[in-house]
Amino acid sequence: MLRKLDKKNYIFFLLIVFLILSSTHNSNFKYNNFFNVKRIEVVGLNKTDNAFLENKFSDLVGSNIFTLNKKSFELINSVNRIKSYNVKKIYPNQVKVYLESAKAIGFVKNINELVVLGNNGKIIEPETLPKNIPEVTGTNDMKKIFQTIEIIKKSDFEIKKIKKINIFPSERIDIEFKNKKIIKFPINFKIDDLNFGFRVINDEKFNQVKIIDLRIPNKVITDD
């Protein structure tokens, strides 16, 4: 049995079909005032930010709903806090824009500011700083920082268990965990290198080891 919402959309669908069939020139259907957008609703952020974006899209109100598509709302891509968005047309004259907020995956402490890194590859300004994200030190090269975090996220390690990622100019990356253990990796580590480190740090033989050096291929060097 159709839900009420589905019935409503189905009725509008039948109405659209009727207008197409009854139009003398079907090309005029696209420009029928009945389908001019009366409301654009944005959801996904807080009320203030949603309203701000709705105001930005006010120029689109009055447009024919058939002329609008996702590209019509690409202004959203300039908002760093947003990871992605989807546009839903509610016929005959409403549009709803669904936003997905970017999530913090790490942060960098500069002299006068805290730079928060988002999972959309951009610097973001979250309302609150999550507790379970690592600090990144040793470099301000944002491209390198994002690349490093993305590789770690794809490995067997859990970001929330990492306290700090140290990227050294000496071609070394240290991952410091919340249990105070440290693994040293070569600067250009790959997912396989990280997964090997994951197996090592979880091996009972290394339970009491605080520092593990994996910079040399096929070697595990420890420092108690």
Residue 107 DSSP class: E
Evaluate whether 101 touches 120 at the Cβ level (below 8 Å). Answer: no
In tens, the pLDDT along 3-47 reads 554 666 666 666 666 655 454 444 555 556 889 999 999 999 999
State residue 125's pLDDT score: 86
Please give the C-alpha separations between residue 52 and each of 101, 104, 206, 221, in angstroms, as whole numbers: 15, 22, 53, 55
**Ordered domains of the chain (ranges, CATH):** 4-101 (3.10.20), 104-223 (3.40.50.10960)
In tens, the pLDDT along 48-92 reads 999 999 999 999 999 999 999 999 999 999 999 999 999 999 999
In tens, the pLDDT along 146-168 reads 999 999 999 999 999 999 999 99
Mean pLDDT of the 118-127 span: 90
What is the C-alpha to C-alpha distance for residues 202 and 216, in angstroms, rounded to an integer? Answer: 19
